[in-house]
């Protein structure tokens, strides 16, 4: 039997349901699930995902260090760069993120919920990619496994970062992360 979902995780899931659905329906992600996916379309999706994922992952890692937290977050960005390189593609250099504001632990909890949730979704996409493009297609970005106990443990870590009085800030952080991710995809994959 799985452990009960912590209150913050339930609140984040409920408050971001529409944003999550909208992102899942984005053409850059939908094309990855199409049975007619080509390597070229796959590469275009990865190029669109690069700045969106890089901005979120880099921000979270920077804020964890700034706040002196002992959270371990697996890096997926090097895997994405490797997958692009295997396809003969090079992502554009990212603009400096110096203008972004600092996050409180509660806001960070919301952002981390989005980042780690994308890893869960990536596992499903990775399985589809193997079936559609074959096992030889580079897809390590989508295949960083999450052990069964890892997601519940992460949810408890998020709960510890965010006292009940600050859950609104966590929700705002998650919504903003979803919005920034979708905006990055819109710029690079207009669909």
Q: Residue 179 belongs to a domain with what CATH number?
A: 1.20.910.10
pTM of the model: 0.93
Q: Are 157 and 108 in contact (CB under 8 A)?
A: no
| Domain count of the fold of the chain | 1
Model pLDDT, residue 5: 72
In a domain, 77, yes or no: yes
Q: Are 52 and 181 in contact (CB under 8 A)?
A: yes
- Using DSSP, state whether 72 is helix, strand or coil: coil
Confidence class for position 97, pLDDT limits 50, 70, 90: low
Taking residues 4-28, report their average pLDDT. 93
In a domain, 2, yes or no: no
Is the pLDDT assigned to residue 109 strictly greater than 70?
A: yes
| C-alpha–C-alpha distance, residues 26 and 44, integer Å | 13
- The pair of structure tokens assigned to 20 is 């999550």
In a domain, 4, yes or no: no
Is the pLDDT assigned to residue 98 strictly greater than 60?
A: no
| C-alpha–C-alpha distance, residues 180 and 168, integer Å | 18
| C-alpha–C-alpha distance, residues 126 and 144, integer Å | 9
Task: Tell me which residue range forms the domain holding 167.
Answer: 9-94+101-188
Q: Are 174 and 12 in contact (CB under 8 A)?
A: yes
- Using DSSP, state whether 104 is helix, strand or coil: coil
Contacts of 74 (CB under 8 A, 6+ apart): 119, 144
């Amino acid at each position: 039997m799985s452990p009960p979902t912590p209150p913050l995780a339930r609140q984040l899931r409920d408050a971001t349901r529409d944003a999550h659905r909208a992102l899942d329906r984005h053409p850059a992600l939908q094309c990855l699930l199409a049975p007619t996916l080509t390597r070229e379309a796959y590469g275009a999706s990865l190029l669109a995902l690069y700045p969106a994922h890089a901005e979120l992952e880099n921000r979270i890692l920077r804020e964890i260090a700034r706040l002196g937290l002992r959270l371990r977050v697996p890096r997926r960005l090097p895997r994405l760069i490797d997958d692009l390189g295997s396809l003969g593609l090079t992502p554009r250099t990212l603009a400096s993120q110096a203008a972004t504001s600092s996050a409180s632990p509660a806001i960070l909890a919301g952002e981390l919920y989005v980042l780690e949730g994308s890893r869960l979704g990536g596992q499903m996409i990775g399985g589809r990619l193997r079936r559609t493009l074959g096992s030889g297609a580079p897809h390590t970005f989508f295949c960083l496994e999450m052990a069964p106990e890892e997601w519940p443990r992460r949810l408890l870590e998020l709960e510890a970062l965010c006292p009940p009085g600050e859950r609104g800030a966590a929700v705002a952080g998650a919504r903003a992360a979803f919005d920034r991710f979708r905006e990055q995809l819109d710029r690079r994959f207009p669909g």
